[in-house]
Structure 1
Amino acid sequence: MSDTVLASQPATCASYAEVTAVRAADPGAIERAWATRATRETIRGNGRLMIVAADHPARGALAVGSHATAMNSRSELLDRLRTALENPGVDGVLATSEILDDLVLMGALHDKVVISSMNRGGLAGASFELDDRMTGATAASTAKARMNGAKMLTRIDFDDPGTLGTLTACANAIDELAAEGLMAMVEPFLSSRVDGKVTNNLSADAVIKSIHIAQGLGSTSAYTWMKLPVVDEMERVMDATTLPTLLLGGDPQTAPDETYASWARALEIPAVRGLIVGRTLLYPPDGDVAAAVGTAVDMVR
């Protein structure tokens, strides 16, 4: 993808070099770009959402499958995101602040749903990984930029005291987002350390337990959504909640056809409102981002 921005999208910068120049000479341009961006309501049309996600790098998670440094290049990631966002069936993006600021400067967030990422403190592989504090966006910054909401990772390990800090931070964030009338997207997992590495339990019963814990966080659930993995027995899993839910794609571990088939089956469940997928679509095995995104869009629509 070239650095040329679609004419229909107002942009401050036409290239990544310009993004850096503006950041150095006129950082206030970022706030102005957010203030003049055309926003949109979260739900539109058939009520389903197709969101692309790109908040892994801020947690030090740069791998895609067996490629440990796949997400090293920021310009390449931005290229892939912009390609995805050019598909009119893609409703929007979830990312950390610096990625969203780059995209808004380049006019890529015009009339898109935008979800910020709040807690990136649980760095991949760190001894404190499960003490996942709020180190990214805040409810106030999300509201000021007129975004639609914010997402928080909520990993729960009964053997790790850091979990309590994470739960407390997430509960506070849910209340702060609700006070602004913004979506709080909660991504729960039951997690444990296996040979020193944090591993998520993706059995149906584990996902169900994580849902029950996470959906009880905060003083109101009025603005809370779930972000859940696609696992076996999804009908039984989704019976654990009445909250609107988006399905996450995760790090691709299976053949694309098998992955897409599992998404299609899960999307038939009424409580499932769409997909929020990152590496599977942005880094497909054949490199064709537009085709991978198009396949996902067709399933959601």
Structure 2
Amino acid sequence: MSETISATCTTYADVTEIRAHDPGAIDRAWASRVTRETVRGDGRLMIVAADHPARGALSVGSNPTAMNSRTELLDRLRTALADPGVDGVLATSEILDDLVLLGALDDKVVISSMNRGGLAGASFELDDRMTGATAASTAKARMNGAKMLTRIDLDDPGTLGTLTACAQAIDELAAEGLMAMVEPFLSSRRDGKVVNDLRADAVIKSIHIAQGLGASSAYTWMKLPVVDEMERVMDATTLPTLLLGGDPQTAPDETFASWARALKIPAVRGLIVGRTLLYPKDGDVATAVATAVDMVRGGTDA
């Protein structure tokens, strides 16, 4: 795989060596990285996401260990980021640090991931505390913003702690002039497992709760699932919105078609997709990413 000229490391062994012997190189790589504004050109965004592993969510479809290999995930991310139509990446700090050392983040939008404390399957899953990036660390690295998962279960007291933490994070990001990307769901437990309610009215209610968090909405964006009646769902907010992909369970053609329809709604500004593009059923990351890029840029009407 080709490397950009700003790469500090050329192999994954180099990354480990740097981490062991010169950890300060990570800060230097962030300081020298070529940054970019969040929105430019056509105003659309195509972001790849890779913050699931830090929550212990390693499955893709029916494969429970699909994301076990960090080097394989990094390969897939670097393939995606090499497409000039991909604007950037959302990930946890350790993945972003690897990518910046490998020179993969120049002229890319970078969004950190904040709350990963709600581990998949845990009894405390909905008490999703801030265990990842902070507003201060995001600003220091000259990233564009940070994302927070905001699952709301009216029967789980852990939800209140999550809402409070997210409101504080939104305020802290706004004070730095950075995007706060909020990913809300109405959630509940079924047979001990947290399940998100993807009915239109449930998504609408989650939007209204989430967009009211914090003292200012000036820098708040939404990250929302593609569901039925998306026009009615998007009428619930004036905030710019990126569509998430989720864990791929349906046929790729059906998934891409649903994205293409939703992307026609004016408030939808693009896609922020992880496993569907990074782990496509046919294994062809570059083609899956290129298809999504074409849709975001208006070149494909799936």
User: What range is the shorter-chain TM-score in?
Assistant: over 0.9
Aligned to 1:273: 269
Structure 1 CA distance, aligned partners of 2:216 and 2:6? 37
The structure 1 segments of at least 4 consecutive aligned residues displaced by more than 3 Å after TM superposition are none
Structure 1 CA distance, aligned partners of 2:39 and 2:148? 20
Is 1:220 equivalent to 2:221 in the alignment? Answer: no
Structure 1 CA distance, aligned partners of 2:3 and 2:238? 40
Aligned to 1:97: 93
Unaligned 5+ runs, structure 1: none
Is 1:54 equivalent to 2:47 in the alignment? Answer: no
Alignment of 1:1-301 (within 5 A): 2=1, 4-6=2-4, 9-301=5-297
TM-score (norm 2): 0.98
Count of equivalent residues: 297
Structure 2 CA distance, aligned partners of 1:273 and 1:154? 20
Structure 2 CA distance, aligned partners of 1:253 and 1:272? 23
Structure 2 CA distance, aligned partners of 1:128 and 1:278? 24
Shift of 1:83: 0.1
Structure 2 CA distance, aligned partners of 1:22 and 1:140? 24
Q: Deviations over 1:195-228 (max 9, x none)?
A: 0000000000000000000000000000000000
Unaligned 5+ runs, structure 2: 298-302
Tell me which amino acid in the other structure corresponds to 1:5: E
Question: Any idea what SS the aligned residue of 2:259 has?
Answer: helix
Shift of 1:243: 0.2
Structure 1 CA distance, aligned partners of 2:42 and 2:14? 38
Structure 2 CA distance, aligned partners of 1:288 and 1:45? 28
Question: Any idea what SS the aligned residue of 1:30 has?
Answer: helix
Structure 2 CA distance, aligned partners of 1:183 and 1:58? 21
Question: Any idea what SS the aligned residue of 1:50 has?
Answer: strand
Question: Any idea what SS the aligned residue of 2:84 has?
Answer: coil
Structure 2 CA distance, aligned partners of 1:83 and 1:192? 36
Tell me which amino acid in the other structure corresponds to 2:15: V
Structure 2 CA distance, aligned partners of 1:83 and 1:45? 23
CA RMSD of the aligned region, Å? 0.5
The percent identity for this pair of structures is 87
Shift of 1:28: 0.1
Structure 2 CA distance, aligned partners of 1:148 and 1:5? 23
Structure 2 CA distance, aligned partners of 1:81 and 1:194? 33
Structure 2 CA distance, aligned partners of 1:300 and 1:45? 13
Aligned to 2:300: none
Tell me which amino acid in the other structure corresponds to 1:229: P
Tell me which amino acid in the other structure corresponds to 1:94: L
Shift of 1:171: 0.1
Shift of 1:148: 0.1
Shift of 1:79: 0.1
Question: Any idea what SS the aligned residue of 1:291 has?
Answer: helix
Shift of 1:41: 0.2
Structure 2 CA distance, aligned partners of 1:158 and 1:300? 35
Shift of 1:5: 1.4
Structure 2 CA distance, aligned partners of 1:179 and 1:195? 41
Q: Deviations over 1:63-104 (max 9, x none)?
A: 000000000000000000000000000000000000000000
